[in-house]
Amino acid sequence: MHPRAEAFKRRAHAEYGIEVDVHEFPEGTKTAAEAAEAVGCSLEQIASGIVLSADDGLIVSVTSGANRVSTAKIAALVGVGESGISMGDAAEIKETLGWSIGGVPPFCHDTDVPVFVDETLSGFEAVWAAAGTPEAVFSISPERLVEAADATVADVRE
């Protein structure tokens, strides 16, 4: 197992009591479509971690792979104008969250940041999220994901 995926697995257990079953795919799961194909689930069940930046810091939106995140809706949720939201900077994401783009899990971040979960994900028994690398994913119930991430379920889709 990749060391970053192993680190996520250990942290999830130590910090949240979650036993993560990491699935690794050498061909990668960089896009939601690639992840869905690799794990054999619907595109809607992919919980894509999109990291945005606002004046107050980073925001994680865990969005269904079938949806695009709405920066206007995220801006409204955090109380800033839409022009105050942009895609997160790779270096800032790594420094703040401890994970690199493409592998940011929905929880186990080095710094507490607001996390919003796409309400679309609530309709599934299980969803698949990044497990520390662009090649690693894990399955989790939406309820447990929301609980561990201390997330707010919201309409975040365009």
Say which CATH number the domain at 49 has.
Answer: 3.90.960.10
- Give per-residue pLDDT as tens, 62-82: 999 999 999 999 999 999 887
Find the domain containing 57 and state its range.
3-154
pTM for this predicted structure: 0.94
Q: Determine how β-strand 46-54 pairs with β-strand 86-87.
A: antiparallel
- The residues facing 88 across adjacent strands are none
Joined together, the tokens standing for residue 78 give 């955090």
**pLDDT for 28-75, tens place per residue?**
777 888 889 889 999 999 999 999 999 889 999 999 999 999 999 999
pLDDT of 32 reads: 87
The whole-angstrom separation of Cα 67 and Cα 21 is 25
Count of structural domains, the chain: 1
Q: How far is 46 from 105, CA to CA, in rounded Å?
A: 12
Rg of the chain on CA atoms, in Å: 14
* 107 vs 15: CA distance, rounded Å: 10
Phi, psi (rounded to 5 degrees) for 141: -70, 145
What one-character DSSP code corresponds to residue 88? P
What is the average pLDDT score of the chain?
A: 94
Q: What does the alpha-carbon distance between residue 41 and residue 45 come to, in Å, rounded to a whole number?
A: 7
Cα dist from 32 to 22, 42, 74, 81, 150, whole Å: 17, 10, 20, 28, 23
Strand partners, 154: 118
